[in-house]
Amino acid sequence: MSETEAMLSEVDALRGDIYQLLARLLRQSPDVELLAWLAELEVEQDGTRLAECWVGLAQAAAQADPERLQRAHFRHLVGVIQGDIVPYASWYQQGELMEAALVALRRDLRVLGFERSERTHEPEDHLAAVCEVMGMLVEAQADEQVAFFQQHLAPWAKRCFDDVADVETAFYAALGALGSAFMESEQARISDRAAHQPVRLVT
């Protein structure tokens, strides 16, 4: 394995971990152990927005109370009827739940071989579920990861994370900022990769 290939593998492993962490924090509030782990993160200060957002999340985790975060998670992302944020692709793209975005996602998930878990109650276009799938595609180095991102995350995920960043709970605001910055980073990575693809000349 070349040095470049090893570096790319490390980057992809980190990307996969970030997708899974975002999914975990969107799906349920963090427990004491996860908060402690986040609070102790050592962030490389490279001047990027993403690094600043990691610092913000670590600081918010250090000051957070698990019981209060549990209530905040319900208020912001679940709700009795709906939370402050409705983290579904159909909602952000069509303005209603269970719409075309969910149908398209279910079709692509079947093609990719993913099946909905019986323990999962929310529709598959919940942002946590889409991040989980994307994380698995990254970890598997699947060729479909770029197309999946462009089809099922790029049109709406950053807007959803931006809305999460506006809530009054510091931890979830920091989570939203991190998710938004990561979506920007992923889009830039895909655009950069496309710019360096060889051009085929057809005669």
Place of tokens 């975005």: 101
Helices and strands in the chain: count of H runs, count of E runs: 10, 0
The pLDDT tens digits for 9-22 are 788 999 999 999 99
Helices 145-152 and 127-139, packing angle to 10 deg = 170
Residue 143, burial from CB neighbour count under 10 angstroms (0-12, 13-18, 19+): exposed
User: What integer pLDDT is reported at residue 202 of this predicted model?
Assistant: 52
Place of tokens 């950053």: 158
User: What integer pLDDT is reported at residue 77 of this predicted model?
Assistant: 97
State yes or no: pLDDT of 44 exceeds 80: yes
Contact 151, 104 (CB under 8 A): yes
Whole-number Å distance between alpha carbons of 125 and 181: 21
Q: Which long-range contacts (CB under 8 A, 24 or more apart) does 134-137 make?
A: 134/19, 135/15, 135/16, 135/17, 135/18, 135/19, 135/20, 135/23, 136/16, 137/112
The pLDDT tens digits for 89-129 are 999 999 999 999 999 999 999 999 998 877 777 899 999 99
User: What integer pLDDT is reported at residue 111 of this predicted model?
Assistant: 95
The pLDDT tens digits for 47-72 are 899 999 999 999 999 999 999 999 99
The pLDDT tens digits for 119-175 are 777 899 999 999 999 999 999 999 999 999 999 999 999 999 999 999 999 999 999
Q: What is the mean pLDDT of the chain?
A: 91
User: What integer pLDDT is reported at residue 2 of this predicted model?
Assistant: 45
Contact 172, 73 (CB under 8 A): yes
